[in-house]
Structure 1
Amino acid sequence: MSSSQTFARLKWHFTCAPVSKNGRSSGACILASIIIVALLDMFAKFQQIPRIWAISKIDCAIWIVAFLATACVDVMDGLAIAIVFALLTTVFRLQWPNWHILANVTGTMEYRDVERYRQVNFVQGICIVRFDAPLLFTNVGHFRAMIEYVSKHWDNLECNSSTTEQSSEEEDEMEKNQRRQSCLRSRKFLIVDCSGFVYVDMMGVNCLKEVYEELLCSDIRVFFAAPKAPVRELFEAAGLYNSVKKSNFYPTLYDAMFFAQHRRCWSLYLPFNIFQKCFAFFRTSFPLQEPGDSCMDTIERKLIRHCSAFGRLDTR
């Protein structure tokens, strides 16, 4: 027992003993004084509430609920109430997680949140989204709402973005690019960054299947980028690859973006199955030199020359 507690006990004993019969009623007072002295450090932590509030409002709410429940109800019941409240906040955070629209940071190969970075490059017709939570039965509705928002507001997102596709200075190239742009407006690619999927349950897998099929019917092709190894194994076990081919999964966002960007342009000349076979060869033979550069025209001329026997086939 500390010196302060001993002093408080003796003080209350000598104060209450004269007013009680042989000091018999002083026990409760002594116990109360011990509790108050022991809780002095906790009362001093009230000064940390503004700091905790600035760091995390949810943690601050848990602290306040735990204190009030313990002080007003009972120690054991208060701790139980605090634990239940903390679990509820965890469920709510999983049910309504954050999601972001990503874009390439200028001069780098990184893709970051467009709300935090100003110097970003968008590609017309391609949108990247990231869902920062495991895809579980508690938040599949929120994931669907995110996909629906992006698909409905696609045009507004493109109007507020800058495109990386540029036309040539020559007139024939300008006409070619203008014709290409008019044909490609309906071709859209949605890339889902799966790096935030720490775990996906069965309802999450079914949600991915349904989203892929629904967007495919709306002429929006869906790619999945950067899934973790345990998540890929889970997709295999759940049979996701039976509905969504493995060709729609990519190890990095850069690979998914590269494939989607050139797929949009080459679809004017090649059917998709031929493009898939040619992509692996030309991807390694003509890699991008810099993140902001594009060797699309060089690869396109080579690809058209080698595949001229197929003619100009337009696929949707």
Structure 2
Amino acid sequence: MWDLPRLWRMSPADALVWAGTAATSMLVSTEAGLLAGVILSLLSLAGRTQRPRATLLARIGNSAFYEDATEFEGLVPEPGVRVFRFGGPLYYANKDFFLRSLYSLTGLDAGCVAARRKERGSEWEVGEGGPAQGKDLAPVSSRAALAPAAAGFHTVVIDCAPLLFLDAAGVTTLQDLRRDYGALGISLLLACCSPTVRDALSRGGFLGEGPGDVAEEEQLFLSVHDAVQTARARHRELEATDAHL
């Protein structure tokens, strides 16, 4: 009982589970207390995974390491690249929170903008932070470069290191996100995927060899830094190609 204040300071959720279990054991029975503890633990776990911490990462000086830009001073944002970290699994219960967090932090609702562009056909818009409109008359390569310029970035890298697992809804969310970003000329890359996550992506159809599929080596990277450097190199190549058109 005396450990409860210390436990509350460390984790209010764990303290509530402990208190609920102890109270049920004393008021009802030991068996009921154990059952209450299991149920409360499962509810606590579900609550934590539904709204995990989401943040944008920035580079630590000239190193190959990236950390939370709001937690550390002096970090250097990568020009044209947004590095997003989602501190939990991606599954059916938190997929909407995942998208809301990503769109809020990057300042661009890719799903909404891509849908509007598809509906209007000849016009496109980009987010509240940088509104822009234009006629859909340019060549594909030049047209694709317009949206990233207005949005402020050309690539989104997702740090999947905290991503413990993906279910079918999570894989579909990433597929839809890649499609919406692609419609705006923005690339989606994944870094630090565990074998479990890679397997889920492969089985879910995110990777493959068919027409329109993206090969694993073009989409998945061992580190965030590798993904960022590849993104910047690809963008330079695209700019050089457009300059010769």
The two structures, once aligned, show a CA RMSD in angstroms of: 2.8
* 2:196 counterpart of 1:227: no
2:228 to 225, 241, 257: 257
Contact 2:148 2:184 in 1 (8 A): no
Question: Which string of whole-angstrom CA distances, capped at 9 and with x for unpartnered residues, describes residues 212-240 of structure 1?
Answer: 11122233221111212232222222221
Structure 1 residues 54 and 183: CA distance shift in structure 2, 3 A = closer
1:218 to 156, 164, 184: 184
Deviates more, 1:242-251 or 1:140-149: 242-251
- For the pair shown, which has the larger CA radius of gyration, 1 or 2? 1
1:125 to 73, 80, 89: 80
Instruction: Please identify which structure carries the higher helix content.
Output: 1
Cross-structure match for 1:137: 92
Q: Secondary structure at the match of 2:56?
A: strand
* 2:239 counterpart of 1:268: yes
Q: So what's the TM-score if we normalise by structure 2?
A: 0.75
Q: Secondary structure at the match of 2:161?
A: helix
| Structure 1: gaps (5+ residues) | 1-45, 160-181, 272-310
Q: Displacement, 1:129?
A: 0.5
1:185 to 149, 162, 185: 149
Q: Partners in 1 of 2:238 and 2:51 — Cα distance?
A: 38
Q: Partners in 1 of 2:40 and 2:234 — Cα distance?
A: 49
2:214 to 245, 251, 263: 245
Q: Which runs of at least 4 in structure 1 moved beyond 4 Å after TM superposition? A: 153-156
Q: Partners in 2 of 1:116 and 1:140 — Cα distance?
A: 25
Structure 1 residues 264 and 231: CA distance shift in structure 2, 3 A = same
Letter aligned with residue 214 of structure 2: K
Q: Partners in 2 of 1:236 and 1:254 — Cα distance?
A: 23
* 2:36 counterpart of 1:81: yes
The number of residue pairs the alignment matches comes to 207
Q: Secondary structure at the match of 2:21?
A: helix
Q: Displacement, 1:73?
A: 2.7
Contact 1:212 1:244 in 2 (8 A): no
Report 1 or 2 for greater relative contact order, CA contacts < 8 Å, sequence distance ≥ 6.
Answer: 2
Q: Partners in 2 of 1:183 and 1:131 — Cα distance?
A: 24
Q: Displacement, 1:193?
A: 0.9
Question: Which string of whole-angstrom CA distances, capped at 9 and with x for unpartnered residues, describes residues 54-74 of structure 1?
Answer: 221111111111122222233
Contact 1:184 1:264 in 2 (8 A): no
Cross-structure match for 2:139: none
Q: Partners in 1 of 2:33 and 2:223 — Cα distance?
A: 47
Q: Displacement, 1:115?
A: 1.8
Q: Partners in 2 of 1:213 and 1:73 — Cα distance?
A: 54
| Pairing of 1:1-316 with structure 2 (within 5 A) | 46-152=1-107, 185-186=149-150, 188-242=154-208, 244-246=213-215, 247-270=218-241, 312-313=244-245
Q: Partners in 2 of 1:103 and 1:84 — Cα distance?
A: 39
Question: Which string of whole-angstrom CA distances, capped at 9 and with x for unpartnered residues, describes residues 156-199 of structure 1?
Answer: 9x99xxxxxxxxxxxxxxxxxxxxxx997345211111112222
Contact 2:91 2:166 in 1 (8 A): yes
Q: Secondary structure at the match of 1:127?
A: strand
Contact 2:147 2:185 in 1 (8 A): no
Contact 1:97 1:132 in 2 (8 A): yes
